Chain A
Amino acid sequence: MEAEAKAARKQMIADVLAEYPAKTAKKRGKHLNVFEEGNTDCGVKSNIKSIPGVMTVRGCAYAGAKGVVWGPIKDVVHISHGPVGCGQYSWGQRRNYVSGAVMGVNSWVAMQVTSDFQEKDIVFGGDKKLVKVIDEIEAMFPLNKGISVMSECPVGLIGDDIEAVAKKKSKEIGKFIAPVRCEGFRGVSQSLGHHIANDVMRDYMIDPAAGKEEPGFESTPYDILIVGDYNIGGDAWASRILLEEMGLRVIGQWSGDASVAEVERAPKVKLNLIHCYRSMNYICRHMEEKYAVPWFEFNFFGPTRIARSLRAIAEHFDDKIKEGAEQVIAKYAPLAEAVVAKYRPRLEGKKVMLYVGGLRPRHVADAYADLGMEVTATGYEFAHADDYQRTTKYVKDGTVVYDDASEFELERIAQALKPDLVGSGIKEKYGTQKLGFPFRQMHSWDYSGPYHGYDGFAVFARDMDLAINNPVWRMSKAPWKAA
């Protein structure tokens, strides 16, 4: 990017910061930057406490642990332990699809199970209630394969010992009960909730089950896990189909459409394939250390990255798999070409502004590039330094990068950059559209999907086109108003 254009972008950031109180401007200044090609990071601070009162987009540890990592495991009953709200607002909102499940019988993903704390539970403690809740779950949902206790704020403040309750009741019912200490005040965002959730998965499911015989299960040299795919709109299935077609055997998906069996047999796997690095890298590192299972980060957004990922994954295996990868790429090439041929002319040169979570602020960049589009600004709600390092491999010189952006910053930056499309979340959607910018929710795929894999790329391309090229964006000005 020209030095002048870059300077203008820096000035834009300075203008935004000027509207904050001095103390806040100083703090926020460290989270906003214009990317310089060749740098090994994006020049922004991350994973730091949000500033009170500025309307951060972030959520909390509970949202990361229950909403993201644990909630999609389908044959486990997840208790939102504490008052009613947290479970109510996260009920059925992430579109983690499940297959072959009967809700309330052998799957509880799209349900809100809560201990609904009342004042007396705060005063006298909630442990006794939790005991009863577990007994009643067993009576209502006997086919569950385990229970998770997702702690909400009060639990950690009133000194409840959910670990003791879990231990005692687990023995009694003969299933695991995982106490997840994901109170909303822990950490600075959803991110610590992911980490805590990974640790509990390790301590209550994977490690205790390691070495356990699994009758009828025979390992093969091609056994892999898909890690960090939450199957939003069926993403994990659209990924799995490619991995299976190249000759691999997917013995587990975490945690979209996951079952307990798929988590417990994890140490038997040959390779962990991780999609959302931020939310599940911890468990991959653990399995690498303890069970010597290697892990590999892949990207199944858009044909360029898919092909590159398929070949890189195949490198971990023998020639049969390498050939398989080539066959898959060849098989889907006509589809990818047809999708690009159809949509690229309609999307060429369009600029995208992103603000999302775990992996998408970088992972989708080349899928847009496949369609002739360019990411002009991007950022993360809850990334760490290593995410911003990875981002440098995706973004171009001069890209605006923001960390933990406030609604105010996003609005100002959008007005300055005038992107053709904004991709962010439900809280950002409607205000952005009112400003006149086409918008896609890039957490939930705006109730669409899948976006992963070749099948998903077609949906992705269609959706970007229908967002940007809908006639409504030319209607906002009344004809009697002068241009």
Chain B
Amino acid sequence: MPQSAEQIKDHATLFCEPEYIELFARKHALENRAAPEEVERQAEYTKSWEYRDKNLKREALTINPAKACQPLGAVFAAVGFERTLAFNHGSQGCTAYFRSHLARHFKEPCAGVSTSMTEDAAVFGGMQNLVDGLSNAYTVYKPDMIAISTTCIAEVIGDDLTAFIDKARKDGVVPADFPLPQAHTPSFVGSHVTGYDAMVKGVLSYLWEGQARQADDRINIIPGFDGYAVGNNRELKRILGEFGVDFTLISDVSDVFDTPTDGVYRMFDGGTPIAAAKAAINAKATVAMQKYCSEKSLELAASVGQETAAFHYPLGLGATDEFLMKLSAITGKPIPESLEKERGRLVDALADSSAWLHGKSYSVFGDPDFVYGMTRFLLEMGAEPVHLLATNGGKEWEGEMKALLAASPYGTRAQIWPGKDLWAMRSLLATEPSDFVIGSSFGKYFERDLGIPLIRLTFPIFDRHHHHRFPTWGYQGSLRVLVTILDKILDVLDLQTAKTGISYDLVR
């Protein structure tokens, strides 16, 4: 009997019991399976150079991409504004997917509605769905703003969002001045990072429309799509507070994706006040923490006369230095001593651990800005990047990565892989391995198949909890990234040396 009430075995151990091992054997005999040798041969072949060549030559087939689609980014951006409801015009399944995807990462509820377009809407257009949807959403959820994005169906059939929204206003389902920004975010264009940009731009251009800019000294900061937004946005606010800078975070999800358990469900919490987003037109400058999440939004900011600057997910020392110096240059305020001290502490930590960090090799995958920022920090540790991959990275990103690597003696081994997916990365790692992989939970299959330990440092992280509550940006955030990496290095070393006991040292 495999199970017992005293020691209940679940899926992790139950199926290792002899009764189930025998069950599998009986089942496999009825599966007309490929011979074990054939499976073994193919498994080995997938790790060969020949397979790698074929794998990298794929033109049509995508396997395990490290990117999601535009409206996911639009939803993420939308919920970062105060009492704003994310509203997708399209099939309802898309919205169910965005909500569950974000919930699985943040371990938080994610609100969002759709217009539930079905076959008749596909034929006759989704106008009535949009009008009814706005009426219901406005009445039931009482938001202060409804941010409308689209999914494939609405884009393919060419629904005229602007006309539909006008109709909704004429029908009086929402007040005449109720904010209804929009973004076109079909999934067959760009990825979640461009969808994020489209929604931020949609909100700002809606709120800025018809306003004359009266320049002030504030700074706008667009954080970008970030799985660590809860920790990072708060860290950003702390840094700016130290600086004494007046700022507006444009889309701040740090509260809505981190609400307390105290007997209340807050569908809306925190976020950029709509009045602040409206007044953001007057800011002196708009700074994007992630360039590829903000290209269109920065164009908008520049078009109204603001200074703009863009960073690549500022991890590590140099990137944080540059970010702070930029803030100082824009505001004319000196970099506060408190932050300079934090800088010194990060250097201190890097020095203390440098012997363990130096020369380790890493492959990194994720969004283009993350891969850039992470790689830059690795180079600062004296580590050697090997495969650097962004499924949603393009030529421009490739050029920036090349320049980054060329500037460091530790960058010579690195290869840059724009547009490639994680099945391609598997081949790359099988043929030219690195000591570690840095990426999302999707990297856990490399760990299993190739024995390369994964360090989870980017979205989505489904199989570990609460990482997003801690920052990765700035000197403090970098310290945490450093510790995460170092812990993995030393855990792996302990595991390796535990077998013989030789080098299983108490002091490292």
A residues in contact (CB < 8 Å) with B: 19-21, 23-24, 49-63, 75, 82-86, 88-91, 93, 97, 99-100, 102-106, 110-119, 121-122, 129-130, 132-133, 136-137, 139-140, 142-143, 152-154, 156-158, 184-188, 190, 214, 217, 233-234, 237-238, 240-241, 244, 250-253, 257, 259-262, 331, 335, 338-339, 341-342, 406-408, 411, 425-436, 448-450, 454-455, 458-459, 461-462, 472, 476-478
Contact = CB atoms under 8 A, between A and B. Distances in A.
B507 interface: no
B31 A53 contact: no
A185 B191 CA distance: 22
A257 B27 contact: yes
Contact of B93 (A62, A140, A252, A431): A62
A427 B72 contact: no
Contacts of A122: 156, 186, 188
Given A132-B61, A188-B118, A241-B23, A85 B32 contact: no
A52 B33 contact: no
A113 B62 CA distance: 6
Given A82-B188, A214-B32, A430-B108, 17 more contacts: A55-B141, A58-B93, A62-B93, A112-B64, A113-B62, A122-B156, A133-B61, A153-B90, A157-B156, A187-B119, A234-B14, A262-B30, A335-B1, A434-B262, A458-B9, A459-B14, A472-B261
A50 B116 CA distance: 6
Interface stretch (B129-137, B202-210, B282-290, B318-326): B129-137
Interface in B116-144: 116-119, 121-122, 129-130, 132-141
B114 interface: yes
A89 B100 contact: yes
Interface stretch (B35-43, B294-302, B376-384, B406-414): B35-43
A411 B63 contact: no
B93 A84 contact: no
Interface of B: 1-6, 8-11, 14-15, 19-20, 23-24, 26-28, 30-34, 38-39, 42-43, 46, 54-55, 58-65, 67-69, 71-72, 87, 90-94, 96-101, 103-104, 107-119, 121-122, 129-130, 132-141, 151-153, 156-157, 186-189, 191, 259-267, 423, 426, 442, 445, 449
B187 A476 contact: no
16 contacts: A52-B115, A53-B138, A55-B141, A60-B96, A85-B97, A89-B100, A110-B445, A118-B189, A143-B39, A157-B122, A158-B156, A240-B27, A257-B27, A450-B11, A450-B14, A476-B262
A61 B93 contact: yes
Contact of A186 (B1, B4, B69, B118): B118
A411 B43 contact: no
B5 A342 contact: yes
A63 to B, nearest CB: 5
B394 to A, nearest CB: 12
B62 A116 contact: yes
Nearest to A137: B61
Contacts of A139: 54
B92 A56 contact: yes
Given A142-B42, A185-B121, A342-B5, A427 B10 contact: no
